[in-house]
Amino acid sequence: MRIDAIELHRVGMPLVRPFETSFGVQTAREVLLIRVRTDAGDGWGECVAGTEPFYSSEYVDGAAHVIEHYLAPTLLRAPDVTAASVARQLGYVAGHRMAKAALEAAVLDAELRAVGRSFGEYFGATAEWVDCGVSVGIAPSIDELLAEVAGYVAEGYKRIKLKVKPGWDLEPVARVRELLGPDGLLQVDANTAYTLADAEHLKRLDPFDLLLIEQPFDEEDIASHAALAQVIETPVCLDESILSAAIAVDAIERGATSIVNIKAGRVGGYLEALRVHDICRELSVPVWCGGMLETGIGRAANVALAALPGFTLPGDTSASGRYFADDLAEPFVLGSGEHAGQLRVPTGPGTGVEVDEAFVAARALSPHRTLR
C-alpha cells in the first residue's frame, strides 16, 4: 500500500474512577490515536504510551514527536508499506516500540479492511470468546478495595489482579482472598516496586495461592527475578521486562519468568506479539494479554490477540466500562450466561470496530496533525 497521509489525534478520556499503581495515580487517559490514509483505505491504531514516562520510558508527547519527525516521514516516503514491512522500515530508529506499534496497527487495520479480513482471522484466533480478568488499583482503604472487587466479581470477571506496593500488599491480598474464597483466581502486579531484598517479605504471599506475581523488580533486572523464583512458590510473571520475543526467551531460559504478560504496544506491535506468543507456546510457557487502558481500538485488537491458543490465562482486557463511561467505538460488554466474564472476538474487517469520529473530535485535546 501507499500511505498518502498519517493523522495524529490526541484524545482526552476521563476514567470512571482513579487508577492507582505503585508508580502513581491516573484519573484520565490522554490517548494518541493514529489514522493512516492509504490508497487501499484508512486504518486506525492506538499508542499505549501514558501521559508520563512512568510505566516505561515512552510517553505520549515523546511518541507524537518521534512519529512526526522520524517514523511517519519514513512511511510516507516509502513506495510500498505493509504491516509486515513496518518494523523493518522503522528499524533504524532505536526503541520507541509503542510509537512504532501504533503505526503498524493502523497499517494492519487498513490492510485487512481492504480485503475484508479480521485481526482475529489474521492472527490465527481459535476462540470466539475470551476469558476476562480485571486489574484493580491501589485503593484509599481496604473496605473500598473490597467493594470494588465485589463489584467486579458480580459482573462475572474470571480473575482479579491487585496492584501492590510496599505497605499495600499482604493485607489487601489476604482480605481479597477471603472475599473470593479458596478457588477464586487472584494475582498481583507490583510494577517494579520491590527489590530482591524484599524476597522474604514476598514469600509471605505464597499461602494465598496466587496465580502469579507480576514484575516485582526493575524491568532491566532479569537476574533478581530468577533469584526470587528460587525462593518463592508463587510463579513470577514479567511485564515491563519483556520487550521482544528474544528477551522473552532469555528471561524464560534464565528462570526469571514462568508466565508472560503480552502487550503488543510494549513489544513493538501485534506482529512481534504473535512471535512472543508462538515462542512461549513452543516453550510451554502460558501467556495472557496485558492492558494499557486502551480505547475500543486497542481493546478490539487485544481481544483478537487473546483468542490465540497460547493465551490460557484470563487477561486484563476488561469491558470498556471498567475504565470509560463513554468510548470512541461501540463499548465492549461482558457476555452473559455461558459467556459470563467473557468478551466476544470481533469478526468485522480489521479491528472490527468503527471509530466514532465525532467522539474523537469532541474530545480532542488539540487540533489533529495531518502529515503527508
Binding site for ligand SMG (CB under 6 A): 21, 26, 50, 55, 135, 189, 191, 239, 290-293, 316, 318
Q: Scan residues 159-198 and list those touching Mg ion (CB under 5 A).
A: 189
Nearest distance from residue 360's CB to Mg ion, in Å? 27
Binding residue count for Mg ion, defined by CB under 5 A: 3
Nearest distance from residue 133's CB to ligand SMG, in Å? 8
Nearer to ligand SMG, 15 or 174 (CB): 15
Q: Residue of minimal CB distance from ligand SMG?
A: 291
Nearest distance from residue 259's CB to Mg ion, in Å? 12
Nearest distance from residue 101's CB to ligand SMG, in Å? 15
Q: Residue of minimal CB distance from Mg ion?
A: 239
Q: Residue 313 binds what, of Mg ion, ligand SMG, none (CB under 5 to 8 Å, by partner type)? A: none
Tell me the sheet residues that pair with 342.
131
**Rounded Cα–Cα distance for residues 365 and 293 (Å):** 18
Nearest distance from residue 189's CB to Mg ion, in Å? 4
Q: Residue 315 binds what, of ligand SMG, Mg ion, none (CB under 5 to 8 Å, by partner type)? A: none
Reading the block at residue 89, the C-alpha cell is 522500515
Nearer to ligand SMG, 97 or 113 (CB): 97
Nearer to Mg ion, 189 or 219 (CB): 189
Nearer to ligand SMG, 7 or 20 (CB): 20
Q: Scan residues 218-247 and list those touching Mg ion (CB under 5 A).
A: 239
Q: Scan residues 81-120 and list those touching Mg ion (CB under 5 A).
A: none
Whole-Å CA distances, 182 to 176, 188, 211, 358: 10, 16, 12, 47
Q: Residue 45 binds what, of Mg ion, ligand SMG, none (CB under 5 to 8 Å, by partner type)? A: none
Q: So which residues are the catalytic ones?
A: 163, 263
Nearer to ligand SMG, 30 or 68 (CB): 30
Nearest distance from residue 115's CB to ligand SMG, in Å? 29
Nearer to Mg ion, 189 or 272 (CB): 189
Reading the block at residue 68, the C-alpha cell is 512526526
Q: Residue 21 binds what, of ligand SMG, Mg ion, none (CB under 5 to 8 Å, by partner type)? A: ligand SMG
By CB under 5 A, name the binding residues for Mg ion: 189, 214, 239
